[in-house]
Structure 1
Amino acid sequence: RGVSFIKLVCVSSNMYKLIYFAFTLLVSSYAIKLPPELQEYVDELHKICIAQTGITDADHAAYDIVKNPHDPKLMCYMKCLMIEAKWMNSDGVIQYDFITDTIHPDVKDIIVTAINKCRSIPDGENLCQKASNFNFCLYGADPVNWYLI
């Protein structure tokens, strides 16, 4: 599938999942071979969020953050990714400390730098817009390493 948006090794399965999500949100230019279980998690996360939001793989592949950063079809997909990965809770609070505390050391500097530039984002009218605003901020903070899982 086309990949365009924000985990690696830690102690538990949930930590693996979170750290991989963080890794995939920001680090497309790194040529790191991911362990199969982490790739499976990202594929499953994508599958869950595609199903929950009703977007298609074609919608996902066509997403263009430069031309249409707040694509209505993708905003709730981004919310799903953030909630499933525990980057945002169900009340819309972005879990900055959780994100930075669980990042793999190899990518921590890149992700923490971007995240720190995105600590004050507009809430938007709903959680989908908030997730989209956060996504767009991450892109602005590091357009070279950003892509949508």
Structure 2
Amino acid sequence: MLIRLGAACGCVLLVLPLVLSISEELQELVDMLHNTCVGETGTSEEAIENAKKGDFADDEKFKCYLMCIMVQMACIDEDGIVDVEATIAVIPEEFQDLAAPIIRKCDTQKGSTPCESAWLTHKCYYNENPDGETMKICVLFVLCVGFPASMCSLEEWRAMGAPIHKTCVAESGVDEVLIEKANSEKVLEDDEKLKCYILCLMKQSGWMVDDKTIDVETVVMVLPDEMKEKATPVVRACGTKVGANPCETAWLTHKCYAENGPNAYVLI
């Protein structure tokens, strides 16, 4: 069965406070895709984790896992030829400007077998890095698809959040110093641009309903695993801190997160 996750589910597969939020229904599809491809190929979870760090094992099972993921997403045919435009289409909209040139440039990296072609193409996605580490989110995206959102690490969570950070800085005009202060000192200044930056993050991530209410369980769902135990009770206790406007509501809620769970608070 083909799972055209991007087209069927609004081009949102992950994580990303990172960033991206996904519904419970979509998470079930994601888990099924991962389990199907691990079951079919027998690859190890270790090989998948290592690939997120750039270590693509020269292992037939892992190569065929990548092939399986792309087949299930209708991004490659049985001969190992990548459908470039279909691959771009399943990338969340926030990442497409960053990912599309890489995907088009890599096209299909042909190997001796269809599985090797999928593997070589993914290596190309990872290694084509003209704009720094954040370009590697193309591969993190595909490899994190196979896991619950929380199983992507904080580092990966940050990397995938980079495009949203850039968008929201531009939209709000916030001073990066205020974001750095929020992370280093857990102090969120009473600054309108910072408030609206936080609102932008939460809207881009799908964590606010109608600019008024925090979707608490969606926030909890996308927390990185190492933060989940400490952060979940804080997120639930804070709920929505209502302010005079949507920007202030987002800011007050984040202030609650930072004040009540400083060791688990990160502002991307």
Retained in 2: the 8 A contact 1:69–1:136? no
User: Hey, what does 2:98 align to over in structure 1?
Assistant: 110
SS of residue paired to 1:135? helix
Aligned partners of 2:114 and 2:17: how far apart in 1? 28
Tell me if 1:78 matches 2:66.
yes
Aligned partners of 1:139 and 1:68: how far apart in 2? 10
- State the Cα distance separating 1:28 from its structure 2 match: 5.5
Q: Say which is worse superposed, 96-105 or 130-139, in terms of deviation.
A: 96-105
Aligned partners of 2:106 and 2:62: how far apart in 1? 19
- The 3 A distance-change label for structure 1 pair 28 and 78 is farther
Retained in 1: the 8 A contact 2:75–2:84? yes
Retained in 1: the 8 A contact 2:67–2:80? no
Retained in 1: the 8 A contact 2:63–2:118? yes
Write the letter of the residue equivalent to 1:53.
T
Retained in 1: the 8 A contact 2:9–2:26? yes
Gaps of 5+ in 1: 1-6
Aligned partners of 2:90 and 2:19: how far apart in 1? 21
User: Hey, what does 2:116 align to over in structure 1?
Assistant: 129
Q: Could you list the runs of 4 or more consecutive aligned residues of structure 1 that deviate by over 6 angstroms after TM superposition? A: none
TM-score (norm 1): 0.71
Relative to its length, the structure with more helix (as a share) is 2
Aligned partners of 1:72 and 1:79: how far apart in 2? 10
Q: Which has the higher contact order (CA 8 A, sep 6+)?
A: 1
SS of residue paired to 1:117? helix
User: Hey, what does 1:97 align to over in structure 2?
Assistant: 85
How many residues align? The count is 132
- State the Cα distance separating 1:68 from its structure 2 match: 4.2
- State the Cα distance separating 1:31 from its structure 2 match: 1.6
Retained in 1: the 8 A contact 2:38–2:44? yes
TM-score (norm 2): 0.42
Identity %: 23
- State the Cα distance separating 1:120 from its structure 2 match: 5.0
User: Hey, what does 1:3 align to over in structure 2?
Assistant: none
User: Hey, what does 2:27 align to over in structure 1?
Assistant: 39
Gaps of 5+ in 2: 145-268
- State the Cα distance separating 1:73 from its structure 2 match: 3.2
Larger Cα-atom Rg = 2
Aligned partners of 2:125 and 2:20: how far apart in 1? 21
- State the Cα distance separating 1:33 from its structure 2 match: 1.9
C-alpha root-mean-square deviation of aligned residues, in Å?
Answer: 2.8
- The 3 A distance-change label for structure 1 pair 66 and 103 is closer
